[in-house]
Amino acid sequence: MKGIVFTEFLELVEDKFGLEMVDTIITESDLESGGVYTSVGTYEFSEMLQLLQSLNSHTGIPIDDLLLVYAEHFFSVLKKSYPQFLVMYSDPIEMISSIESHIHVEVRKIYPDAELPTFEVVEKSKKALTMIYKSSRSMHYFGLGLMKQTFKHFNTNATILVEKIKEDGTEVKFIIQKSE
């Protein structure tokens, strides 16, 4: 997992819960990196999982909710760091359905070792999109948060249903309906 995911996560934790919480979750986790991350480095996903589990145990906030809020923050990071991917789109359904065929393809050129999910477009129309998410990392709530912010970015609204295909969240169906 890329370092930018860790650095931004820890910044958000500091923002919401304070520096002491950052220290606590790093100390409590068994981290090969020692909790020192650079944005371009690459680290084990298991480190992120431990940090999330530790934060969950201290705050009582479910991990899925932590990922959702984190993704909403991460979208603004993406907007600032990679504006070139956003200006190409004028419609959220066009943008979200292009994650697999365009955006993450470009991300892989920048970070060849990025660990990205796959998104298969099952059905697409002007107002609706069904996609299947697959990833060993089960970060579908992170995907949900990014999708929600994508709609917000284009000043639109949508209902997004999340249906687990596999109980462990490694395969999930997203059913997106744009509302006017």
Q: Where on the chain is the footprint of ligand HEM (CB under 6 A)?
A: 1-2, 5, 78, 82, 85-86, 96, 99, 103-104, 107, 111, 114-117, 135, 137, 139, 142-143, 146-147, 150
Helix (H, G, I), strand (E, B) or coil at 70: helix
What is the C-alpha radius of gyration for the chain, rounded to an integer number of angstroms? 16
Residue 113 beta carbon to ligand HEM: minimum distance, rounded to whole angstroms:
7
Residue 124: strand pairing partners = 129
Residue 26 beta carbon to ligand HEM: minimum distance, rounded to whole angstroms:
18
Q: Choose between 54 and 150: whose C-beta lies nearer to ligand HEM.
A: 150
Q: Choose between 19 and 128: whose C-beta lies nearer to ligand HEM.
A: 128
Q: Choose between 2 and 178: whose C-beta lies nearer to ligand HEM.
A: 2
Q: Choose between 24 and 33: whose C-beta lies nearer to ligand HEM.
A: 33
Residue 143 beta carbon to ligand HEM: minimum distance, rounded to whole angstroms:
3
| Position 64, amino acid | D
Q: Choose between 4 and 25: whose C-beta lies nearer to ligand HEM.
A: 4
Residue 69 beta carbon to ligand HEM: minimum distance, rounded to whole angstroms:
14
Backbone φ/ψ region at 169: left (φ over 0), alpha (ψ -120 to 50), beta? left
CB atoms within 10 A of CB 121: 15
Residue 159 beta carbon to ligand HEM: minimum distance, rounded to whole angstroms:
15
Which own/partner contact pairs does 10-17 have at CB distance under 8 Å and 24+ positions apart?
10/37, 10/51, 12/69, 12/70, 12/73, 13/55, 17/55, 17/58, 17/59
